[in-house]
Structure 1
Amino acid sequence: MQNTTTHQHTDCLRCGRTLTSARSTAIGYGPTCARHIRNAAVDTSDYKPHQIASARELIADAAIIPLRSTVFLAVSTDGTETYRSAPTACTCPAGLKGSRCYHQLAARLLLAA
């Protein structure tokens, strides 16, 4: 048997305001911040389509949270590991090899919003 828990956020992960709707507490962002993140203008030409989709999914799942001004804590795809990620670097296996990973793109999207 696998224990699955979901975390309900009480404050927006982007601006820190109190979340009031059930949908907002489930995703971790208020409607205005979610719209800003969706519409963030970031150059994604150097990322593959699956990386863009993974970055957007990471944000939608509230699996990337801010630690400091440009540093984020990102959860791995299977949920077993966490990585420190910034727009230019990441501690995931791909990031340690010098490759661009979707954690970095998610950080760029959040900072551009």
Structure 2
Amino acid sequence: MNAAATTITRCLHCRRPLRSARSIANGYGPTCARRIRNAAVDTTDYKPHQIASARELIADAAIVPVRGQAFAAVSSDGTETYLAHPTNCTCPAGLKAARCYHQLAARMLLAA
């Protein structure tokens, strides 16, 4: 008898198994998704388009935890991957010591 191989999709934030199709598509369970949406992060140093880009990065599951407080983040055009941390990033803006939306997304995920 052949047993079908089942893969378990896990929440990108808490690593718990995801069961609903909507959660699997989002990459986050309902509780983590709500916490991320409502995360109280100081955004005064960021421009409105950076805040929108950080939220989009999280919604698209284009930023995933790597280890500790480090995250792998995909570039806006999808061609490169950067290592993002709440205080720095390896993207071109981050290398110039500027605040980027990858850093903001990392802060939002850690605040949740």
Q: Deviations over 1:37-72 (max 9, x none)?
A: 000000000000000000000000000000011000
| Correspondences of 1:13-92 after superposition (within 5 Å) | 13-92=12-91
Inter-partner Cα distance in structure 2 for 1:24 and 1:81: 26
1:80 Cα deviation after fit: 0.6
Q: Deviations over 1:22-48 (max 9, x none)?
A: 111111000000000000000000000
Q: Runs of 4+ in structure 1 displaced over 2 angstroms?
A: none
With normalisation by structure 1, the TM-score equals: 0.91
What 5-or-longer segments of structure 2 have no aligned partner? 1-7
Q: Secondary structure at the match of 1:67?
A: strand
Inter-partner Cα distance in structure 2 for 1:46 and 1:35: 23
Aligned residues: 105
Inter-partner Cα distance in structure 2 for 1:17 and 1:95: 31
Higher gyration radius (CA)? 2
- Give the CA RMSD over aligned residues: 0.9
Q: Secondary structure at the match of 1:65?
A: strand
Inter-partner Cα distance in structure 2 for 1:24 and 1:78: 24
Letter in 2 for 1:11: R
The equivalent residue for 1:96 is 95
